[in-house]
Amino acid sequence: MDLFFRKFGQGPPLIIVHGLYGSSDNWVTVGKKLSEKFEVYLIDQRNHGQSPHSPEHNYSLLKEDLREFMDKHSIEKAVIIGHSMGGKTAMFFAADYPERINSLIVVDISPLSYKSTNSVQLLSHSVIMDSMYKIDLSKVNSREEIDKILAESIHQTHVRQFLLKNIRRSKDNKFSWILNISALRKELPEIMSGLDIKDYENGKSISGFPVLFIKGADSDYILEKDEKEILKIFPFAEITTIPKAGHWVHAEQPELFIKTIETFVLK
């Protein structure tokens, strides 16, 4: 998979892997700031942004996409930052290729599965996916009209504004999703999956490099009960909380987020 990417700065390599519905474009501000100290690569994962589409979307493939990207660009080891789905990609990558990581930073996601039928996250993403999928974009004339349709089931304005960044308009005024929404909707159970904690018992944990989990204080993606499980898989991980931030920590508290990363990696 030949992933689209943006590159900034010089120094030790640092790769940022975006989350579901995201793209490298969402991380340009953070990436440029970090490029003062690192050679920053912002990638678009498959089925997102300007990267190719595929009918398959699971972490077995996403981690190999990341490995292929590093190989293609002659990156032997890197600091890897992953947000949400990108954090899962980074953790699956760390499990198989620990020798390719200098530091691992996981942003507002746990390594565990969110696939249970009563999972708030699964239900929320199911609503979002269904809402996006059902819109007949051939019959709309503006982004405002799309927003109005989405608002019928997605009540949070900031979530809709984030989703609308994935709308493109052709020269003949036709709207389409940049995302491969049909594949992502079909593969949502895989996207919500996680590492199997049974694989990391009896001394088989992931170690050998510094690990930081960053969670938003107002987010429900990493709960207190999850922290014990995180430490079973990553026994030397640090877990820190960014105040006044939800799931999109980097967008809601960018200065504190960047300072937290730099302090951790450069200490």
Q: Give the residue numbers annotated as catalytic, written as ranges.
A: 84, 247
Burial 79-117 (b: 16+ CB within 10 A, else e): bbbbbbbbbbbbbbbbbebeebbebbbbbbbbbbbbeee
Q: Indicate the pairing of strand 101-107 with strand 175-177.
A: unpaired
Q: Dihedral (C-alpha) 231, 260, 19, 46: value to the nearest 10 degrees?
A: -100
In whole angstroms, what is the distance from residue 263 CA to residue 241 CA?
Answer: 14
Phi, psi of 226 (to 5 degrees): -75, -25
In whole angstroms, what is the distance from residue 240 CA to residue 210 CA?
Answer: 14
Provide the token pair at 264: 């951790």
Provide the H-helix boundaries in the chain: 28-34, 59-72, 85-96, 120-134, 143-151, 157-164, 181-186, 188-191, 224-233, 249-252, 254-266
The 10 Å Cβ neighbour count of residue 196 is 12
Provide the token pair at 154: 């997605």
In whole angstroms, what is the distance from residue 79 CA to residue 132 CA?
Answer: 34
